[in-house]
Structure 1
């Protein structure tokens, strides 16, 4: 049986907050520390391998996303996008730039760089790839490789209005503090669904980071805290 889609995740009850877990230290979130950890990661296990069972009628396909860590004076910031509301998959959700792999892509890094340039216009010359996270399987049947990279300003973005409604940044130290990680549970069609969220209050609105994006960020937390 396929899992029912969660259409209003913000309304799902919060069943736990991980304030008891340690935050990643500021020292471990520095540019040199991130480079070192990705280059020689200790033994660790991702917390989330995927969303669970996939939607029917979908053939698994390779995909990749860029996890862009922008180097700012006050530390690293994660660059995220808000998808447009009319898309077939993950409409309106907070996502990493990325998408489905094409035959001509030279592996996941090539996919992530191409899709990032197409979606938000971030030129490759600003992107320094430093590692990858384990593949994450989405409910929409994508086998997603998260590609981590450092991005150094100044750079300009040009959003593809057909796919991306907005691009914004979140301080990495906020996302790597489990006190901001919420666990949700909701029952749909008699099936309990659980997921994690990391809501971020921006200057003008709240961004509800959840689903695959939040799960991959939680895996990054597990790597950095290991």
Structure 2
């Protein structure tokens, strides 16, 4: 196991993650898994590209996850169930490190997303569900921590101006709620990584 994963787990266990609080706006509950893995002993982050046929966030890069179903006892169960459904993997071996702050999607879909950071076991074989996943990419975390591959742009939604994060990897552009979740992970990983 990589020392950064241990440091993330220790840090996330010592600080409570924040909930979204937007007075007057009702958001549906959702959860995602932010999958980390090792490739050549280096931490990577896994993303899925959503098919262009989907109703929400079509064609965007995302973390596996979705709406919390009534039968999901906790948001973590939602994240793990959705990961199993989307990637076709056995999630019993995923080492959950903790949760990041909730992120709202107030622009259209109206969710509050609870991200859980988890380490996918070595050697796991993906069997993506083609109805939910067009393809999978694994991006080195060190690349995402390089500021030259990150930019922000102002956007306006429901009278509020907010910053949208964009990360690039080769020809792929990761943005939106996934970009905001990724920014939180990158900031945390940067603070915990040795110089």
**Which of the five TM-score ranges fits, normalised by the shorter chain?**
0.7 to 0.9
Which residue of structure 1 aligns with residue 187 of structure 2? 222
Give SS of 1:86's match. Answer: coil
Which residue of structure 1 aligns with residue 128 of structure 2? 159
For the pair shown, the structure with the greater C-alpha radius of gyration is 1
How many residues align? The count is 185
* Distance in 2 (alpha carbons) for counterparts of 1:101 and 1:137: 14
Shift of 1:104: 1.2
Is 1:63 paired with 2:30? yes
Is 1:198 paired with 2:172? no
Which residue of structure 1 aligns with residue 143 of structure 2? 174
**Do the aligned partners of residues 95 and 107 (structure 1) sit closer, same or farther apart at CA in structure 2, a change above 3 Å counting?**
same
- Which of 26, 40, 53 lines up with 1:73 in the alignment? 40
Which residue of structure 2 aligns with residue 38 of structure 1? 12
* C-alpha distance after superposition, 1:112-141 (max 9, x if no partner): 000000111121133111100111111211
Shift of 1:173: 1.4
**Does the CA contact (< 8 Å) of 1:30 and 1:75 recur in 2?**
no
* Distance in 1 (alpha carbons) for counterparts of 2:148 and 2:10: 25
- Which of 86, 100, 111 lines up with 1:142 in the alignment? 111
Which residue of structure 2 aligns with residue 209 of structure 1? 174
Which residue of structure 2 aligns with residue 6 of structure 1? none
Structure 2 unaligned blocks of 5 or more: none
**Do the aligned partners of residues 179 and 40 (structure 1) sit closer, same or farther apart at CA in structure 2, a change above 3 Å counting?**
farther
Shift of 1:82: 0.1
* Distance in 1 (alpha carbons) for counterparts of 2:185 and 2:44: 14
Root-mean-square deviation (CA), in Å?
A: 2.9
**Do the aligned partners of residues 176 and 103 (structure 1) sit closer, same or farther apart at CA in structure 2, a change above 3 Å counting?**
same
* Distance in 1 (alpha carbons) for counterparts of 2:105 and 2:114: 11
What's the TM-score, normalizing by structure 2? 0.83
**Does the CA contact (< 8 Å) of 2:151 and 2:167 recur in 1?**
yes
**Does the CA contact (< 8 Å) of 1:29 and 1:76 recur in 2?**
no
Structure 1 unaligned blocks of 5 or more: 1-27
Relative contact order higher in (CA < 8 Å, ≥ 6 apart): 1
